[in-house]
């Protein structure tokens, strides 16, 4: 139920279309929020029905019409209320990372395969980090108050990516050692002494 807060948060900075909200989620704040475009369009319609936002259809000659949404007072009040409420009931984090799921089961597959995955995960995060840094240097040259939160969260993202790639390298080195010793994916029966 906090998709709407994410949307309101974006709209509070400047009015936007469903399309541009989707784009922002996709290219900028993937590290803490994501949503599918159909979901965003539907939510925006619902929010307008509830009087939280208001749309204005802009006619364009070179492109199809677009609907620009802006936050209404009621929406701003709701957003502020959410921001201020003490998060007693632990907010649903719902981490669901299939990559880590895979790693947790790596004893079931080939060790070289596992290392290949780790290498690609590492590259993914390295390049993601690079992108964020580039985004920072473009959008966060001169900080104003509105951008301050984004400065903090983009720094979070950089550290997160750093942590990921460091961990990948660490895990790879650990796997390499185990491979040398032949502990993994080999003769698993020698360990069970009796059962």
Gap between the Cα atoms of 107 and 21, Å rounded: 41
**The one among 85, 86, 94, 144 contacting DNA by CB under 7 A:** 94
4 CB neighbour count, 10 Å cutoff = 19
15 CB neighbour count, 10 Å cutoff = 16
DSSP-derived letter for residue 8 is H
Which listed option, DNA, its own copies, none, makes contact with residue 17 (CB within 5 to 8 Å by class)? Answer: DNA
121 CB neighbour count, 10 Å cutoff = 20
**The one among 17, 20, 30, 39 contacting its own copies by CB under 8 A:** 30
Determine, following the binding rule CB under 8 A, whether residue 152 of this chain makes contact with its own copies: yes
Q: Least Å distance between CB 96 and its own copies?
A: 6
Q: Which is nearer to its own copies, 50 or 162 (CB)?
A: 162
Q: Is 10 exposed, middle or buried (0-12, 13-18, 19+ CB in 10 A)?
A: buried
Positions in the binding site for its own copies (CB under 8 A): 2, 5-6, 9, 12, 29-34, 79-80, 83-84, 87, 91-109, 113, 117, 144-146, 148-150, 152-153, 155-156, 159-160, 162-163, 166-167, 170-171, 174, 178, 183-185, 188, 191
């Amino acid at each position: 139920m906090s998709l709407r807060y994410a949307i309101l948060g974006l709209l509070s900075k400047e009015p936007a279309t469903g399309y541009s909200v989707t784009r922002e989620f996709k290219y900028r704040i993937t590290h803490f929020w994501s949503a599918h475009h159909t979901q965003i369009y539907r939510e925006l319609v619902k929010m307008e029905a509830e009087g939280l936002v208001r749309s204005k259809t802009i006619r364009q000659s070179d492109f199809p019409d677009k609907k620009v949404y802006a936050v209404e007072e009621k929406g701003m009040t709701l957003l502020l209320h959410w921001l201020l409420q003490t998060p007693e009931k632990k907010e649903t984090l719902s981490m669901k990372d299939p990559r880590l799921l895979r790693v947790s089961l790596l004893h079931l597959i080939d060790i070289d395969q596992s290392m290949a995955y780790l290498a690609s995960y590492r590259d993914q995060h390295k390049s993601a980090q690079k992108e964020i840094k580039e985004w920072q240097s473009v959008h966060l040259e001169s900080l104003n108050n509105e951008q301050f939160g984004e400065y903090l969260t983009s720094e979070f993202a950089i550290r997160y990516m750093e942590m990921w790639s460091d961990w990948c390298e660490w895990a790879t080195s650990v796997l390499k050692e185990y491979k040398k010793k032949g502990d993994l994916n080999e003769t698993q029966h020698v360990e069970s002494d009796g059962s």
